[in-house]
């Protein structure tokens, strides 16, 4: 076989390989990842809270305006004016200035309640005084004789561990027997066998008062009654000065607490209300009793539902009547939606 045909064959094969390499395109890269999309917008905690119904609408801060008093601000936002003063370091007689910034939200952070367990957690540093704190290095050992008598186990008070240098004399010293102090077993208590007795002077009224006090901490179980008897001569209005209802009556007629709670204001410092009583029932509701002739309760006093708190009058008004309001987180709401039926 001639070499020339073989050479031509190899040359032709090489040319085909080079042509294939020159015209071959790289394999396409396919992106198999899902198409990208914009990240979901996450609402801030404040905007999320504002979008949910029933959330606290009150601001974290309040700027004092002309005509404001600490009493009126407390009524407007449903806080005890003394708590506002304490949170903002305002001493009596509680003078505030126009433009002054008042912290309001800190009033709710004094103590927190675990909604799952109902346990109230006090702030740090509010110990009950039963914790004993000793400096490092101090002797914190308990006495050896502090043993419950009920166990009957002897208490060992000796020997005390001592370190003695090694010597032949020390090895020959007889060991000291521990001093055992037997503790007599606790005698059976006759009182433990006695049947449990209840006090004979327990009254149903005490139980009712406790029920009212417990109900004051729960918005759902809060039951209202009419604060006084009489004809309703002024109805609720969202606008104007009709923030409650007016009930006609006679001078000195009893005015009672419409629900259990704590008196957070008792006085006549709020213009247009006369002699006024404000009761805070829980974190959500408070009630207002205005134009009284005489006030019978003091600030800080706990009252039960139906307890007489004042006598009807015409202080700072033109006729004898009771102006009654219910406020939800400071906002005036229609008392007719909470009071039972018609006024007796």
Structure confidence by residue, pLDDT tens digits, 81-140: 999 999 999 999 999 999 999 999 777 654 333 333 333 333 333 344 444 444 454 444
Which tokens belong to 183?
């503790």
Contact 282, 216 (CB under 8 A): yes
Domain ranges of the chain: 56-109, 232-337
- The CATH class for the domain spanning 232-337 reads mainly beta
Over residues 24-78, the pLDDT tens digits come to: 555 555 555 555 444 444 343 333 333 344 567 789 999 999 999 999 999 999 9
Q: Give the Cβ contact number of residue 86 at 10 Å.
A: 14
Q: Could you read off the pLDDT of 127-178 as tens digits, one per residue?
A: 444 444 444 544 444 444 445 455 555 555 555 566 666 666 666 665 555 5
Instruction: Give the whole-angstrom CA distance, residue 185 versus residue 37.
Output: 78
Residue range 209-260, pLDDT digits in tens: 444 544 455 566 799 999 999 999 999 987 766 799 999 999 999 999 999 9
* Residue 262 clears pLDDT 60, i.e. is over it: yes
Note the pLDDT tens digit of each residue in 189-202.
Answer: 444 444 444 444 44
Report the pLDDT value the prediction gives residue 109, as an integer from 0 to 100: 53
Q: pLDDT-derived band of residue 278, with 50, 70 and 90 as boundaries?
A: very high
pLDDT in tens, 295-336: 999 999 999 999 999 999 999 999 999 999 999 999 999 999
| Residue 276 to residues 96, 132, 178, 300, 314, Cα–Cα distance (Å) | 21, 47, 76, 14, 11
Q: What's the CATH fold of domain 56-109?
A: Membrane-bound Lytic Murein Transglycosylase D; Chain A (3.10.350)
Alpha-carbon 231 to chain mean position: 39
Q: % helix / strand / coil in the chain, to the nearest 5?
A: 20, 20, 60
- Percent of the chain whose predicted confidence (pLDDT) is above 70: 50
Q: Is 21 left (phi over 0), alpha (psi -120 to 50) or beta?
A: alpha
Measure the CA–CA gap between 157 and 82, rounded to whole angstroms. 57
């Amino acid at each position: 076989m001639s070499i020339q045909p073989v050479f031509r064959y190899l040359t032709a094969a090489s040319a085909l390989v080079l042509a294939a390499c020159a015209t071959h395109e790289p394999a396409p890269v396919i992106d198999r990842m899902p198409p990208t999309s914009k990240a979901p917008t996450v609402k801030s905690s404040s905007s999320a809270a504002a979008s949910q119904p029933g959330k606290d609408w009150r601001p974290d801060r309040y700027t004092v305006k002309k005509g404001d008093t600490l009493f009126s601000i407390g009524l407007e936002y449903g806080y005890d004016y003394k708590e506002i003063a304490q949170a903002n370091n305002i001493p009596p007689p509680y003078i505030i200035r126009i433009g002054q910034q008042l912290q309001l939200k800190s009033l709710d952070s004094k103590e927190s309640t675990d909604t799952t367990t109902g346990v109230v957690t006090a702030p740090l540093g509010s110990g009950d005084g039963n914790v004993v704190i000793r400096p490092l290095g101090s002797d914190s050992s308990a006495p050896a004789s502090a043993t419950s008598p009920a166990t009957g186990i002897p208490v060992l008070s000796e020997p005390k561990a001592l370190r003695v240098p090694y010597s032949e004399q020390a090895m020959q010293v007889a060991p000291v027997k521990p001093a055992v102090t037997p503790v007599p077993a606790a005698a059976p208590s006759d009182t433990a066998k006695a049947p449990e007795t209840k006090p004979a002077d327990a009254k149903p009224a005490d139980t009712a008062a406790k029920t009212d006090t417990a109900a004051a901490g729960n918005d759902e179980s809060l039951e209202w009654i009419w604060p006084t008897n009489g004809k309703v001569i002024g109805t609720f209005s969202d606008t104007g000065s009709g923030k409650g209802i007016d009930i006609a009556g006679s001078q000195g007629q009893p005015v009672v607490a419409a629900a259990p709670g704590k008196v957070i204001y008792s006085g006549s410092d709020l213009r247009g209300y006369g002699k006024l009583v404000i009761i805070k029932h829980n974190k959500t509701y408070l009630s207002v009793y205005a134009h009284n002739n005489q006030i019978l309760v003091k600030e800080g006093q706990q009252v039960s539902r139906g307890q007489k708190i004042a006598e009807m009058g015409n202080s700072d008004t033109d006729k004898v009547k009771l102006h009654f309001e219910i406020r939800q987180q400071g906002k005036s709401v229609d008392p007719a939606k909470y009071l039972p039926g018609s006024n007796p």
